[in-house]
Amino acid sequence: MELRVLRYFQAVVAELNISRAAARLHVSQPTISRQLKDLEDELGVTLFERNGRHIQLTSSGEYFATQANQIIALADKTLANINTAKQISGTVELGSAEARSFLTIAQSIKKLQRHYPKIKTNVISSNANQIRTNLKSGNFDFGVVMEPTDKHDLNFIQLPGESRWGLLVPRNSPLADHDHITLADLEGQNIITSAQHGTINQLQEWYGESTPKFKIVATYNLLYNASLLVSAGVGYALGVDGIINTNQTDLTFIPLAPRLTARTSLVWLKGQRLSEAAHAFLTQLADDLQQPLPAMHQ
């Protein structure tokens, strides 16, 4: 059963006259008559009652007409979506914090690549401060930020999963044999922490004091760079798990206690007009997460 034949049948149903259907489709009348007869033979039913020049659908024909309309509509929609996918092109600029939840973004990018092969995604490692600046300047379409961060002028989708805060220390450190790190363990230590705005406030909430008992000797944007500082003996790095693979290295990661976790969100400017490529990415991610998109101008 071919779509072409179904379209012949659909035209005859609309006209209830083979001559008019043939003129409408720009094919010969014998061609349509032969195709309809072959269709009836294939289905094993009579679709039309014929009385001279006049034809009428049988009950089987009425049922088949409904199904044929649905099949043709689905085929047309699928073809339109494929053509649209071929036409959408461009670049999605995405600034991202280091977080395990970026895997969700990566999986959506993979699907986006399959549906829209002409879309390219640029991922730039960054922190929340830099992401906000680049969103406002238009350099980034989206950002993946570690919470907490100020989102009063941002649309956002919270990503699944969470990361646990801990301390990156050398394996030869006295702290390396600890199951967890407490505030008492940090007292008097040289600490390297994230430069992201809000991190210090989050840590203050964790240790319950306005003045830390440790000394912040350096800050970082990328935990990998912080890990090199730890290896060099500059201090211990506070960060989240799952970023640095400490296997076969001189470092180990020890979680904080009480437990302190962080979540991540995809953010973009409120009122921002997204490109077709950026909107396709956002739609793909929302579909993957089964979340509705925030109201926005598009």
CA distances from 176 to 167, 171, 288 (A): 10, 5, 39
Q: Is residue 234 predicted with pLDDT exceeding 90?
A: yes
Helix (H, G, I), strand (E, B) or coil at 169: strand
Q: Which domains does the chain have, with CATH numbers?
A: 3-86 (1.10.10.10), 90-161+263-289 (3.40.190.10), 163-261 (3.40.190.10)
E strands in the chain: 48-51, 54-57, 90-96, 119-125, 142-146, 154-158, 163-170, 190-194, 215-220, 236-240, 251-255, 261-262, 264-269
Structure tokens at 288: 């993957």
Query: Are the CB atoms for 293 and 286 separated by under 8 Å?
Result: yes
Q: DSSP characters for 9-38?
A: HHHHHHHS-HHHHHHHHTS-HHHHHHHHHH
Distance, CA of 163 to chain centre: 19
Taking a C-beta distance cutoff of 8 angstroms, is the pair 133, 200 a contact? no
Confidence of residue 207 (pLDDT cuts 50, 70, 90): confident
Q: Residue 124 has what pLDDT?
A: 93
Strand partners, 15: none
Size (the chain), residues: 298
Non-local CB neighbours of 72 within 8 Å, separated by 6+ positions: 3, 6, 7, 10
Say how far apart CA 188 and CA 62 lie, in whole Å.
85
Claim: this prediction has a pTM higher than 0.95: no
Confidence class for position 272, pLDDT limits 50, 70, 90: confident
- Joined together, the tokens standing for residue 212 give 């830390």
Q: Look at residue 178 in the predicted model and tell me its pLDDT.
A: 96
Using the 8-state DSSP alphabet, how is residue 182 labeled?
-
pLDDT at 168 over 70: yes
DSSP states of 144-161? EEESS---TTEEEEEPS-
Please report, rounded to a whole number, the percentage of residues in the chain having pLDDT higher than 90. 48
Residue type for position 37? K
Task: Provide the pLDDT for residue 172.
Answer: 95
3 state DSSP class of 117: coil
- Condensed to tens digits (0 to 9), the pLDDT of residues 66-96 reads 998 889 888 887 777 676 666 888 999 999 9
Mean pLDDT for the stretch of residues 173-196: 92
- Averaged pLDDT of the chain: 88
Going across the sheet that includes 154-158, the strands are 119-125, 90-96, 142-146, 264-269, 154-158
191, 235 in Cβ contact below 8 A? Answer: yes
